[in-house]
Structure 1
């Protein structure tokens, strides 16, 4: 047994095997956003009504997540995981040296990824909306910027998944499972 399982706390009770980290809203937001983005990306020029509906839904989800980042529970709040560039670089150095500390919520790189994805998706949604207006209807540059944001999102998603896999390996825990159940081991 590991040290955590052998530890007895006051009153003779063992510590919990897992603790709640990700609330239901964060988990539903995460998986809904992933599915809707894939749907929007796949339908692009092919099925415009579905593409636009997915885009508006993503925009709504992003607005809710931004509000939740200020009023939600501890690990959903931006103040819990947004770190300075210096802290992110120091963490990335530790990742490269396979000595990165474990975080119960988002680690500094994960926090940076959350912010980056929100910003890029807002750009994607904004330019997508612009293409439906009279002012920008048929403007090739808006379409190109929209596609660039969408492709940048794909790149960020790939880096995100690789980061999740690396952190899961390094800390011997499934972050995918944690984003499904909302629970992680306490230490």
Structure 2
């Protein structure tokens, strides 16, 4: 008869990052959609500034939380470290092959941390999250003159003799037309990346959720509950048990 054994999977910091990230993404997605379809929704300029301001504040929390996770990947527990997350390193290819064979044969070995496919997914998600954070911080400066680039942007677009701090979002009073056009050209690639990364994230998040459900059904172990408790439970030896 198999006996169940508990394993420490996710430390407290990793779990906090995950759920703060979930809340931020839900809020940012909702606010971003409202901003994107502002005309259809009848949003005024004042309303759009309010939406963007709220969006930016959630973006700051999102960016700080993401930065902390990046740091934690170097100092956290074994399962939180980048060596156990990114799909690189000696033996990863053979490990992925073995996992896929087991998956198709209906005999997968469970993992305390991320399994080889999950490592690919998490790495892709992190790349997109970083791209979204960086482009979002740039857009916060170009759209409503918020830090970290807001002061530089207002200094760039202010007409000669105009105090940059007097500029108001969505009001072109005191703005040099040529500088404004140059700033908008600078902004263009950032908004394009931000826009398409948003949709890419929606697709990957849907795949991620489906993968979590499938893994829970195939491997068991309390994968979902582990992101609350920090522990997984298996009736057989995990593939990554040290």
- Report the TM range for the smaller structure's normalisation: 0.7 to 0.9
Q: Which residue does the alignment assign to 1:126? A: 134
Find the partner of 2:210 among 148, 162, 176.
Answer: 162
The answer to whether the Cα contact below 8 Å between 1:21 and 1:75 also exists between their aligned partners in 2 is: yes
Aligned ranges 1:81-160 → 2 under 5 Å? 81-84=85-88, 86-87=93-94, 89-90=96-97, 91-92=99-100, 94-131=102-139, 132-133=141-142, 134=153, 136-137=183-184, 139-160=187-208
Question: Which is greater in Rg?
Answer: 2
The answer to whether the Cα contact below 8 Å between 1:87 and 1:108 also exists between their aligned partners in 2 is: no
Q: How many residues get paired? A: 175
The secondary structure found in structure 1 opposite 2:130 is helix
Structure-2 separation of matches of 1:21 and 1:81: 13
Shift of 1:146: 0.4
Q: Given the superposition, is the C-alpha separation of residues 38 and 87 from structure 1 closer, same or farther in structure 2, using an over 3 Å criterion?
A: farther
Q: Which residue does the alignment assign to 1:69? A: 73
What TM-score do the two structures reach when normalised by structure 2? 0.65
Structure-2 separation of matches of 1:20 and 1:88: 22
Give unmatched runs, 5+ long, in structure 1. Answer: 6-16
Q: Does 1:23 align with 2:11?
A: yes
Residue by residue over 1:90-138, the C-alpha shift from the partner in whole angstroms, topping out at 9 and shown as x without a partner, is: 2345434433321111111112222211110111111112222427557
Q: Does 1:181 align with 2:229?
A: yes
Structure-1 separation of matches of 2:117 and 2:93: 11
Shift of 1:144: 2.1
Shift of 1:145: 1.4
Give unmatched runs, 5+ long, in structure 2. Answer: 36-47, 143-152, 154-181, 237-242
Deviates more, 1:95-104 or 1:136-145: 136-145
Residue by residue over 1:4-40, the C-alpha shift from the partner in whole angstroms, topping out at 9 and shown as x without a partner, is: 25xxxxxxxxxxx422211111011001101101101
Structure-1 separation of matches of 2:26 and 2:212: 19
The secondary structure found in structure 2 opposite 1:100 is coil
The secondary structure found in structure 2 opposite 1:106 is coil
Root-mean-square deviation (CA, aligned residues, Å) is 2.2
Structure-2 separation of matches of 1:166 and 1:160: 10
The answer to whether the Cα contact below 8 Å between 2:222 and 2:233 also exists between their aligned partners in 1 is: no
The answer to whether the Cα contact below 8 Å between 2:31 and 2:55 also exists between their aligned partners in 1 is: yes
The answer to whether the Cα contact below 8 Å between 1:82 and 1:108 also exists between their aligned partners in 2 is: no
What TM-score do the two structures reach when normalised by structure 1? 0.83
Q: Which residue does the alignment assign to 2:165? A: none
